[in-house]
Structure 1
């Protein structure tokens, strides 16, 4: 291929790696041609395995199919057969490693449980079908089984097509099980009834739901998946999840899923770990099979059967549940044979040194093409830490096709800054560089803190800032210096992060109001308690506490960002920074953002060169309505002052009073 891809044209530093980039691009084209029979079918047609495999009800009864090349004999067993092998439930081999069973209509009933009893050379075992769409756990025995799920009155989605709003994308990341106040596992219905209205009121236009794919261990946060086509039954039924998604769409909220294709649970009976006696049917052989850090198994993306399984999984969730897209977890782990462990990624050569898994790169490229073929308005986000160029560039330009990549550097920067530096050492130049440090041709999702910071052993931003004083001084009137400082910085950190986006912004459930403590899922070590696996919504609802100030500010901030058309695409222009004063100012069109990170010094008549005119305050972190001191009069219109030195530049001085540890947003009104 002699043509130079746009990815390389836009970044001359990639020119030395033209051969590698072009090779990956051509590999994806070749694989797509192979899978689509040289274009005779579409990628979407290819990715319809869920319509063929698994259990389906037909006009004549039932049909079940499974792919198990290593099997010698397979029975369907279940409550309908007293869990015994019966000849009438024996599958027949139909070629290409596939097996089939046809049953009359009265052979299975809605709600019945089943598994496969598989025999292979030298062994046998019970397995849950790989394509099972409903898997449940017995409350007493804790054993998982597939379940026949064909209710007579299945849920029907609204007929009005839903188009996600991405101007900009404002994501509320959430977990169904811990979204409720009570010390228990929450449900899809409770989330729909209680949490969705909160998200809509807060102004977010997208929810990213974690832990949807069935996972045996609740405490894995949903990242050790066993059944890829089954929505987790611990939260409710498939119909209840569909009702949730349909309700969100009615509120104008897109729903994306945290999809896990980077690895799988080792489980053999519940999962794919040793399906039909072949530990390599879905996974790499040798040392590459097991993930050294996650105690899980790594898919073999070089097998067409695995690509078929995973691509079909993407289409299934969009087709069956109307998900609007996906946040792909663990992309760094997929891209590198090392899984990114112990690598520094200090130069471009680290992305093209032969240590990359080209099969995984090809799969991700095809997955993005498929998803956008199924729904051109779909949203795809890559959770990737290495900075691989082209990840969120168009596939036709030589990229991998994601719409966005997570700006994982930002939460790392904030937590490191808070942990290691006193306020006096915070440098606005460093802050501005970090929140705007990204490839110009790739959109990112900015966020101030990740859900990982809320897990056991770490702390959220608010807990790092206030710590134990959160237990004693969050009542109005009892706040101390530590609380005032923590709340002020919490607002400033989120404001500078959210208003410098070039794609979207993300907040994890509860962090907008400074949810205290950490997340600790029920486990043996805590007596299987849900005390910390929930959200204490009463804290933000009680107006006698200061939490609502943070939530109120977040709502106004989101409203400001969403209220500006194409906000994420408006160029960011730095107006001023002074690390000595700890002052930062930048603009986006008619909005001016001014930050004073100085913990002790307030400044009077601090000047900034801006376009001539009148400026009004539209948001102030120090306003009393947000728990601030209200030191500035935000009703005043600020008029710029003429300076003959800058007449030719069409700039004048905007002079402001900027209290210590505060930020203000102004809009040019005239």
Structure 2
């Protein structure tokens, strides 16, 4: 199953003055070599920020200058902008013009191309025969307005030396599947233009609170959900919960639903199984009207091998879009690897980025599989133990260049755009500024955190959890790179893995999750689920992510319909009825998640507020730290509660704003959360303006107090 292969690969890697026009506006530093060299500091910023990178500065500068060289080449030394270069979707594909229709395709190996479809009985005919544009690998066909109409299905019939085949155009912006034959076709799509209600949108995402979601499985019913259903039924939940960004998976068209959208066939087509392009735009528009940013999970790390639906053999040259030889196929994902060294491929992918931003008003992207792009080995079987492992010659400079320019482009098109890298190796500079020698992502996924929590739950007894280790792991990141922290994403919810709640409670969720019938395993799971999330979310330096349903402890796993399960949708959905049922315990976790986000947002400039450790004691299993006026206190001990446990904190009065042990969240309610806690004078620390704050700390609980 494609999903299993993709997840397996991730788990494997876890082991282991005209130039001004070409400026990347996000950094205001992308320019020609000449411009940058004239203003270059003694050391590039990445090295200034981390002196341990000094030995590798030549490689860092080399990659930076490679990106500048390619930028100058693509922009003709600043005569056009990078955004101008990435307008391929306006040229290629099928377009309605004032005179009729025009179709263009890049297919250098083709000897003939016809359009076949509903409009000509799916037969080759001279009227629908394209012509090669002289001196290029591009083909063009101009037709009258009556030659086709909105809704017609069509394909290319491509001929090449020694073969022929029906193909879906690479730049098709609408692809549909026949329900009976299961065959995919391109579709003429030219409705009335969508009228945006929210024409401009600037997200307020400090901190960035992401709700990772999948349209198809976003409903209770055992079926494929739609954009409209998600807008009407799920989006209001996200707004109510307090998230300010949704990250949508599986948008780009993919032939196999069970691939979770990671085996893409048509990169410019929004998946039709969820509805029409206009319905997706309406979803995004509605989110924007409610202050919610929308980013998409973009897959440029590989492509599906399919030839009929995808780019695998568009015109008799299997290497047209992909690397030749041993690098052609991904060894773990059963897919094809883009040749980022080709200008045409760079044009295709950069245009794809701009297309989703411009046409659909997406607010940015989470780039999937970045580790796989960075290394010839795709990161498989490598440990990445020291800096030398990132600069030993096994890095794909073409892919690094592409990712760098993609970030430049995205921020040039939309200076407020959000870019996130899913990367497990820890490549330095990934989320550092381009001007500093970085790759320009705004954030990188902190993929160490979910691995740590899972390892802790699996391998350690509760009494062996060490606050010092927890605090180190959830704060372990480069100072000059923002991260997205998370406890679990979709990966941990797939068949073959387990969510945190299921690791904590397992089968008892089926029998003892009704209020009044909880057993010890359920009480433990509910308590630790809240504490794990609070520790992770409260120590972020960029953002926090939650996968759809995990906020309320959605039971079971994700398993898309496939032959092995009788093509069932039973596990490819979200059971919202569980959290809505106040007789069950799920709402405790959902209610806590909502209050946790509210608490985090209550501290102004939360991201910029340093995490200051107040105390940790591994023997007691107690941890305390402050962010601004918020004091976070954890007692991870499964059995020991502490009375008058003291901390030295800034002098003043403190009020409880969040208590994991509150009965409203499924706790025991052992603290009086209405009490104001006053610090106690100690002459020894009077010059430090600190006094003792003494608290009652129940076992397996956490408190958040705010200094009044």
TM-score normalised per structure 1: 0.99
Equivalent position to 1:229, from 259, 268, 271: 268
Q: Identify the residue that residue 147 of structure 2 maps to in structure 1.
A: 107
Which segments of 5 or more consecutive residues in structure 2 lack a partner in the other structure? 1-36
Q: How does 1:214-253 map to 2 (within 5 A)?
A: 214-253=253-292
Q: Identify the residue that residue 205 of structure 2 maps to in structure 1.
A: 166
Deviation track 1:223-249 (CA, whole Å, cap 9, x = no partner) reads: 000000000010001010000000000
Equivalent position to 1:127, from 144, 167, 170: 167
Deviation track 1:622-655 (CA, whole Å, cap 9, x = no partner) reads: 0011110000111111110111221222211110
Answer yes or no: is 1:272 the counterpart of 2:272: no
Q: Judge conservation of contact 1:181–1:535 (CA < 8 Å) in 2.
A: yes
Q: Secondary structure at the match of 1:356?
A: coil
Equivalent position to 2:178, from 130, 134, 138: 138
Q: Judge conservation of contact 2:603–2:630 (CA < 8 Å) in 1.
A: no
Q: Identify the residue that residue 622 of structure 2 maps to in structure 1.
A: 583
Equivalent position to 2:75, from 36, 39, 55: 36
Q: Secondary structure at the match of 1:275?
A: coil
Q: Identify the residue that residue 524 of structure 1 maps to in structure 2.
A: 563
Q: How does 1:527-566 map to 2 (within 5 A)?
A: 527-566=566-605
Q: Segments of 4+ in structure 1 off by > 2 A?
A: none
Equivalenced residues, count: 668
Q: Identify the residue that residue 156 of structure 2 maps to in structure 1.
A: 116
Deviation track 1:84-120 (CA, whole Å, cap 9, x = no partner) reads: 0010000011131000000000111111100000000
Answer yes or no: is 1:632 the counterpart of 2:671: yes
Q: How does 1:307-456 map to 2 (within 5 A)?
A: 307-456=346-495
Answer yes or no: is 1:615 the counterpart of 2:662: no
Q: Secondary structure at the match of 1:585?
A: strand
Q: Identify the residue that residue 31 of structure 2 maps to in structure 1.
A: none
Q: Secondary structure at the match of 2:507?
A: helix
Distance 1:478 1:207 in 2: 35
Deviation track 1:168-197 (CA, whole Å, cap 9, x = no partner) reads: 110000000000000000000100010000
Distance 2:388 2:624 in 1: 35
Distance 2:455 2:296 in 1: 29
Answer yes or no: is 1:514 the counterpart of 2:514: no
Distance 1:647 1:365 in 2: 51
Q: Identify the residue that residue 19 of structure 2 maps to in structure 1.
A: none
Answer yes or no: is 1:58 the counterpart of 2:91: no
**Cα distance, 1:351 vs. partner?**
0.5
Greater mean alpha carbon deviation, residues 159-168 or residues 169-178: 159-168
Distance 2:202 2:450 in 1: 30
Distance 2:495 2:195 in 1: 40
Distance 1:513 1:215 in 2: 30
Deviation track 1:514-538 (CA, whole Å, cap 9, x = no partner) reads: 0000000000111111000000000
Answer yes or no: is 1:23 the counterpart of 2:34: no
Q: How does 1:130-209 map to 2 (within 5 A)?
A: 130-151=170-191, 153-209=192-248
Equivalent position to 2:508, from 469, 489, 494: 469
Q: Secondary structure at the match of 1:576?
A: strand
Distance 2:485 2:432 in 1: 17
Distance 1:661 1:345 in 2: 35
Q: Secondary structure at the match of 2:506?
A: helix
Q: Judge conservation of contact 1:184–1:530 (CA < 8 Å) in 2.
A: yes
Distance 2:461 2:488 in 1: 19
Q: Judge conservation of contact 1:631–1:659 (CA < 8 Å) in 2.
A: yes
Distance 2:492 2:435 in 1: 36
Q: Secondary structure at the match of 1:276?
A: coil
**Cα distance, 1:600 vs. partner?**
0.0
Distance 1:563 1:643 in 2: 30
**Cα distance, 1:569 vs. partner?**
1.3
Q: Judge conservation of contact 1:167–1:565 (CA < 8 Å) in 2.
A: no
Q: Judge conservation of contact 2:253–2:265 (CA < 8 Å) in 1.
A: yes
**Cα distance, 1:553 vs. partner?**
0.4
Which segments of 5 or more consecutive residues in structure 1 lack a partner in the other structure? none
Distance 1:517 1:503 in 2: 30
Distance 1:154 1:177 in 2: 25
Distance 2:461 2:548 in 1: 28
Cα RMSD between the aligned structures? 0.7
Q: Judge conservation of contact 2:603–2:629 (CA < 8 Å) in 1.
A: no
Distance 1:8 1:496 in 2: 31
**Cα distance, 1:354 vs. partner?**
0.4
Deviation track 1:275-297 (CA, whole Å, cap 9, x = no partner) reads: 10110110000000100000000
**Cα distance, 1:160 vs. partner?**
3.7
Greater mean alpha carbon deviation, residues 446-455 or residues 532-541: 446-455
